[in-house]
């Protein structure tokens, strides 16, 4: 059995505390979709397909805790929700340096973090089996890494298509799918993120500003040599939400 620990993540502990109760639990994608299974179709139903069930066994949806409706103009982000403009702009959205020509790249500042006691490859995808507002005019930037060898948040990095300058998302819709790949059965445990744990994540995410590495394997070596893993695991386990 491999334990995967998870929590919402924010850039500082005050924001984490303020937003903690807004976040949803993780939902298994197969369990969500199977509620709509056509039970009269027995012979040719993809819910019975072992390949589909294998793919979705550890596939989870990360749901948006907020509703936002944003427009980006002249280098500024403007909220279409006047009563909560300050909240939207200061806590849930920011522009990034564009990754693509003539297109906006944004960081929708709703993040999660995962850590494991044994090797687990986390793959993050756009939620293609759910209809969402968020990806009507954009796509989620996917990624993959071993969550037992690197302690960093999973951010909602979103690339708008050329000519688009709006981002809209509704509370409760999936923002990201995460697939957890392991040779062992996985048990999920939610933990409460401490200020020290946030600092440890910054050690990982800020390393790119000081050193340039060509591959994740180099980052894993740095993390292993730091001997932080046991310290991080001990603090996470002391803050599991049973």
The answer to whether residue 211 is domain-embedded is yes
The structure's pTM equals 0.92
In a domain, 156, yes or no: yes
Q: Which residues pair with 113 in a beta bridge?
A: 7, 153
In a domain, 242, yes or no: no
**Structural domain boundaries, residue 208:** 2-237
Q: Is residue 8 part of a domain?
A: yes
Band the pLDDT of 139: cuts 50, 70, 90. very high
Mean pLDDT, residues 175-204: 96
Asked, for residue 126, whether it belongs to a domain, the answer is: yes
Please name which of 141, 239, 137 lies closest in space to residue 190, comparing C-alpha atoms. Answer: 239
Query: What are the tens digits of pLDDT across the range 108-128?
Result: 889 999 999 999 999 999 999
The answer to whether residue 104 sits within a structural domain is yes
Is pLDDT above 90 for 206? Answer: no
Number of domains in the chain: 1
42-92: pLDDT as tens digits? 889 999 999 999 999 999 999 999 888 888 887 778 888 765 655 555 555
Residue-averaged pLDDT of the chain: 90
In a domain, 212, yes or no: yes
For residue 92, tell me if it sits in a domain: yes
Please report, rounded to a whole number, the percentage of residues in the chain having pLDDT higher than 90. Answer: 69
């Amino acid at each position: 059995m491999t334990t995967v620990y998870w929590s919402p993540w924010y850039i500082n502990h005050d924001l984490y505390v303020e937003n903690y109760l807004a976040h949803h639990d993780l939902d298994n994608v197969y369990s969500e979709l199977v509620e709509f299974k056509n039970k009269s179709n027995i012979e040719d139903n993809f819910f019975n397909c072992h390949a589909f069930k294998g793919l979705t066994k550890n596939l989870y949806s990360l749901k948006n805790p907020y509703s936002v409706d944003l427009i980006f103009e002249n280098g500024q982000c403007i909220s279409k929700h006047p009563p909560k403009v300050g909240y939207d702009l200061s806590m849930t959205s920011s522009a990034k340096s564009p990754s693509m020509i003539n297109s906006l790249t944004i960081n929708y500042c709703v993040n999660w973090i995962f850590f494991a006691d044994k090797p687990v490859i986390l793959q993050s995808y756009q939620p293609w089996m759910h209809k969402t507002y968020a990806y009507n005019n954009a796509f989620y930037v996917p990624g993959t890494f071993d969550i037992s060898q690197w302690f960093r948040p999973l951010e909602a990095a979103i690339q708008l298509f050329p000519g688009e300058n709006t981002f809209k998302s509704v509370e409760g819709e999936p923002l990201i799918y995460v697939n957890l790949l392991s040779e062992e059965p996985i048990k999920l445990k939610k933990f409460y993120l401490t200020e020290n744990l946030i600092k440890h994540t910054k050690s990982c995410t800020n390393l790119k500003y000081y050193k340039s590495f060509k591959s994740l394997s180099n980052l894993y070596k740095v993390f292993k040599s730091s001997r932080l893993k046991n310290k991080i695991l001990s603090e996470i386990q002391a803050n599991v939400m049973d």
